[in-house]
Amino acid sequence: MIDLRSVGKKIQSLRVSNHLTQDELAEKLYVSRQALSKWENGQSIPTIDNILLLSRLFNVTFEEILCLNEKTEFDENDLFKSHDRYLIINKIMSGELVVDLPTVFYQFSPLERMTLLKKVKEGSLKVNISDLSTKLTTSELKYLLGGNYVKTT
């Protein structure tokens, strides 16, 4: 999975180290400065053709531009710092990123929480349910535990 933010930082770093403005690089790539800005901000990614042009222009491999060989570091206190949310969720669900889910669960949006809970319910994401259950809303508990959930007062 490609981390759009890392790719953007890489493109920006290559541009700056080659003493180019966004306008100058955009002109060389035949794209708008706004498109280049979106790449650098991790909001979108260049096309394959543009990645190849960037690799030729900066004399680097396309793997380097896409940060494919870089080890990504994650801060458990802020999982999404400098990373694409979609990337983090997918890495957790695939097992590539192992986190203490009960500890970091508050960092996820409601939709992300339900996506992760679906994987927990399916058994493809392992977690200590009793630790996680204290972090869940009533509706999340009902979803996860189904008929086994009884609200205590």
pTM of the model: 0.60
Phi/psi for 78 (5° steps) reads: -150, 80
13 and 60 belong to one structural domain: yes
Answer for the pair 26, 33: CB distance below 8 angstroms, yes or no.
yes
Number of structural domains (the chain) is: 2
Domain limits at 33?
4-65
Residue 79, in any domain of the structure: no
| Inter-CA distances, 42 with 4, 32, 39, 77, 142, Å | 5, 16, 5, 21, 36
Residue with tokens 């957790």: 92
Residue 12, in any domain of the structure: yes
58 and 92 belong to one structural domain: no
Evaluate if residue 153 carries a pLDDT over 70.
no
Report pLDDT digits (tens) over 9-58.
Answer: 999 999 999 999 999 999 999 999 999 999 999 899 999 999 999 999 99
pLDDT at site 111: 94
Confidence of residue 147 (pLDDT cuts 50, 70, 90): low
Per DSSP, the residues of 50-83 read HHHHHHHHHT--HHHHTTTTPPPP-BTTBTTTTS
Residue 14, in any domain of the structure: yes
24 and 53 belong to one structural domain: yes
- At 106, which amino acid appears? Y
